[in-house]
Structure 1
Amino acid sequence: MIYRSKTPLRLGLAGGGTDVSPYSDEFGGAILNATISLYAYASIEPIQENGIIIEAIDRREEQRFEWTNELPINGQLDLAKGVYNRIQKDYGLPLTGFKLSTFVDVPAGSGLGTSSTLVVAIIGAFAEMLKLPLGDYDIAHYAYDIERNDLKLAGGKQDQYAATFGGVNFMEFYAEDKVIVNPLRIKQEYLNELEHNLVLYYTQTSRESADIIKEQQKNVHAKNEKSIEAMHQLKEQSKMMKEALLKGRLHEIGEILDFGFQEKRKMAHNISNSFIDDIYESAKLAGATGGKISGAGGGGFMTFYCPNNTRYKVIDVLNNFGGVVKSYQFTHHGLTTWSVQ
């Protein structure tokens, strides 16, 4: 039997960064995001020898181990090994050899929540194999706990929940890891128009999100008023975005995104740079009414709102910067698992 899973990546549309502790613990965070048709995949299949093989197909990395209850965390394939270690500790695995294979549709560090989405996919494959009685909230929190506490990786909470639940969600974050996921019932015609007008652009650069997030966390601990006020404004942005989408006021989306772009740059010094600023301003001159950097910032994907068929002129301009415009559709489903003979 082979056990498979896939989880969608997400576009953060508003409120990004307010899901990160300690801000969310002290003030409460709010984010609006939507999952898209780019995925992380995981498969577990039996092998003849009594050992463990872990491979990241997209990264062309593979490691082999004798059977053990704990795999070494050493900077290579740590997400997969971290999930294995925790599953082994909490539930135990049968003493049979297996191969865990993963693949992600976009590069790591691109700002679409790749790491957390991959962790959810791996948990999903193990849950399918072991028939674990885990609900959506259980899986999302489990992924968060493995990343933040077991592997000591800095980051927020939205990605794990977006990957698990799927769809368009308004998420609230509070102290003691309390998260409330509110699915939004947006008319399909509004989603169609949003999908048509939002251009997803990969800058062909990646970044280490942990460094940006650590500075953001440091600013909150230090009571940096400029940084904290920016986060307050981004939380307010998520409420503005929610109302605009639910009421079909799509003409406001670009301005709401632009407002968030300006505020987000105040959270940490390396969220933007001259290259990103040049891309952003060029897109606006070509007809975009606003946009954002995906994820923590510093590189990766950017999104632009391009009303009235301006997307085509914007895409022409973006092509001059050496990146790639990526096609996508919004998805309604999160983590999906299945088994095959």
Structure 2
Amino acid sequence: MIVRSRAPLRLGLAGGGTDVSPFSEQHGGYVMNVTIDKFAYTTIDESPSGKVEFHALDAQESLALDPEQVTLGAGATQLMRGVYLRVCDQLLGGRRPTIRIRAHSDAPPGSGLGSSSTMVVSLVTAFAEYFNLPFGEYEIAQLAYDIERKDLALSGGKQDQYAAAFGGFNFMEFYADDRVVVNPLRIKEWVWSELEASLVLYFTGVSRSSAKIIDEQSRNVREGRSESLSAMHRLKQEAVQMKEAVLRGDLNQLARVMQSGWEAKKLSASSITNSGIDELEKLAFANGAKAAKVSGAGGGGFMMFLCDPADRVKLVRSLAGAGGTVYDTHFTSNGASSWKIG
């Protein structure tokens, strides 16, 4: 039997960072995001070698281990090993089957599209299909969060796991004790189409470690730094404003909220922007952009721009000349999915 799965990557529209501890526990976090047609993929089948095989296809890194040799640790196969150990030890009663796991993503780690967390959701979804585990979206997202943040101790928030599990446009609420409420939004077709036509997604070519940025942001909250805390509360309220703008189809307000959110985001941690990002932002605004922001924690990866669709060609040409890559992007309405072959 062969099982495959895929989970969609996401764009953070507003509120990103308020889903990160300790802010979400102390104040509650609101995030507005949408999934796109870029995915993390997993294939699981019986191991032909009689060992447990982990293949990180993007990194061209593989491991073949006896079941009792599988441990947590760094490296390109880290996420796969983390999921394998948690599922086997918690859900399979300690049984460690000899399976082969192969995975890859449409976006590199550090891209700002939630690629690492989306990969964990894809892996958990594939394991649930392979071992007939009765998981819904909330269970998949929470298990993925526990594996990545608790078992592997990788810094980050919660929105990526829930976006990948649920898919579509969502307004999310994050509270203490891992309480999460996902509110799927019904977007009018013309708003969906106009927003797609207005969006330009640009890869700067620079991947970055989101953990360092998130650690700085969390430290600022723990230490009660007023500028950072004020920025976080502003980001939280802008998620509400973004939800209203999307539901009402007010694209001008949406652009204003996105830009305001980006300015607030810069105040939450010093490493969120840099001179290269600032120059790209200036270039974009000189060529038709109405709003700009870095997707994810900041520091590099993908940038998002909003423009009048009639200015899209001019904006794309200007960005293409800056050394990065413009991606054709569409929104998706579905979250993680899995299927059997044979």
- The answer to whether residue 134 in structure 2 is matched with residue 133 in structure 1 is yes
Displacement of 1:68 after TM fit?
A: 2.1
Q: Matched residue of 2:11: which SS?
A: strand
In 1, are the aligned partners of 2:88 and 2:95 still within 8 Å (CA)?
no
Change (3 A) 1:254 1:4: same
Give the 5 Å matches for 1:166-315: 166-315=167-316
How far apart in 2 are the matches of 1:31 and 1:185? 16
Structure 2 unaligned regions, length at least 5: none
The residue number in structure 2 matching 1:19 is 19
| Aligned amino acid, residue 197 of structure 1 | S
Q: Matched residue of 2:63: which SS?
A: strand
Displacement of 1:316 after TM fit?
A: 1.1
How far apart in 1 are the matches of 2:309 and 2:91? 53
TM-score (norm 1): 0.98
Change (3 A) 1:199 1:294: same
Displacement of 1:48 after TM fit?
A: 3.1
Q: Matched residue of 1:37: which SS?
A: strand
Displacement of 1:134 after TM fit?
A: 1.1
Q: Matched residue of 2:339: which SS?
A: strand
| Root-mean-square deviation over aligned CA pairs | 1.2
In 2, are the aligned partners of 1:50 and 1:96 still within 8 Å (CA)?
no
The residue number in structure 2 matching 1:66 is 66
Aligned length: 341
In 1, are the aligned partners of 2:56 and 2:76 still within 8 Å (CA)?
no
How far apart in 2 are the matches of 1:276 and 1:128? 41
The residue number in structure 2 matching 1:87 is 87
Deviations 1:6-42 (A, max 9, x none): 0000000011100001001111100000000000000
How far apart in 2 are the matches of 1:95 and 1:20? 33
Displacement of 1:251 after TM fit?
A: 1.9
Q: Matched residue of 1:17: which SS?
A: coil
Deviations 1:211-257 (A, max 9, x none): 00000000000000000100111111111111111011112222111
Deviations 1:172-193 (A, max 9, x none): 0111111100000110110000
Q: Matched residue of 1:334: which SS?
A: coil
Displacement of 1:298 after TM fit?
A: 0.2
The residue number in structure 2 matching 1:331 is 332
Comparing 254-263 with 203-212, which one deviates more in the overlay? Answer: 254-263
- The answer to whether residue 154 in structure 2 is matched with residue 153 in structure 1 is yes
How far apart in 2 are the matches of 1:232 and 1:175? 16
Comparing 17-26 with 312-321, which one deviates more in the overlay? Answer: 312-321
Structure 1 unaligned regions, length at least 5: none
Displacement of 1:94 after TM fit?
A: 5.8
Displacement of 1:72 after TM fit?
A: 3.9
How far apart in 2 are the matches of 1:150 and 1:162? 21
Q: Matched residue of 1:321: which SS?
A: coil
Deviations 1:154-197 (A, max 9, x none): 10000000000000000001111111000001101100000000
The residue number in structure 1 matching 2:36 is 36
Displacement of 1:320 after TM fit?
A: 1.9
Displacement of 1:95 after TM fit?
A: 5.7
In 2, are the aligned partners of 1:50 and 1:95 still within 8 Å (CA)?
no
Displacement of 1:308 after TM fit?
A: 4.2
| Aligned amino acid, residue 222 of structure 1 | E
| Aligned amino acid, residue 206 of structure 2 | T
The residue number in structure 2 matching 1:320 is 321
How far apart in 1 are the matches of 2:186 and 2:292? 23
Deviations 1:119-144 (A, max 9, x none): 00001111001100111101100000
How far apart in 1 are the matches of 2:309 and 2:222? 44
